[in-house]
Structure formats: structure tokens, C-alpha cells
Amino acid sequence: MQITIDLPEDIERYLIREATNANVSPQTLILQALRQLTRKPQETTTQWSDIILSHEGFPDFPAFESYRDELLSPREPELF
């Protein structure tokens, strides 16, 4: 099926910029967005996206474990 729509200039510029950043064509970006919008709830993705999996973090950021000594011990629960 072929569908033609007229986009406002600001949306067209945004679409082209985002497609360029994602290294895909504007048509592919539109198709991906439509597939995501029309996906049924049971068809939701259960894996992390490639952009998340490929993130390497920040080399000079302190490790999470380095703050463990600063954490407070958990409080004892009050029973009554």
C-alpha cells in the first residue's frame, strides 16, 4: 500500500534529522514508528534495544560499588 501525506516543514526537518542520526531512510523511520504504534500489547519487545546494549558508559564515572561504604545500614523493622 502506498500512502501520501503532507508534513509541516518543522516535522519534515525533524524527521530527516532523526533518520540521518539513526542512519536510516525517512521511510524506514516512519515504518518503524508505525509498527511500534500499531503493535498489540502482547507483542511488546522483551529485550533491550541495540542502542542500550551498545552503550559503553562513561570511562571516568565512578563505579557503583565505590559508594557502598557510604550507605546506611537498613533499620530494624518496628514490630509494634
- The residue extents of the domains of the chain are 1-42
pLDDT at 42: 63
Per-residue confidence band for 38, with pLDDT thresholds at 50, 70 and 90 = confident
Amino acid occupying residue 61? F
CA distance 5 to 46: 32
Cβ burial, residue 16 (10 Å; 0-12/13-18/19+): middle
Q: Concatenated DSSP letters for 40-51?
A: -GGG---S--HH
Predicted confidence (pLDDT) per residue in 55-77, tens digit: 888 888 888 788 888 888 888 88
For residue 23, what pLDDT is reported? 93
Q: What distance in Å separates the CA atoms of residue 20 and residue 60, rounded to the nearest whole number?
A: 29
pTM: 0.47
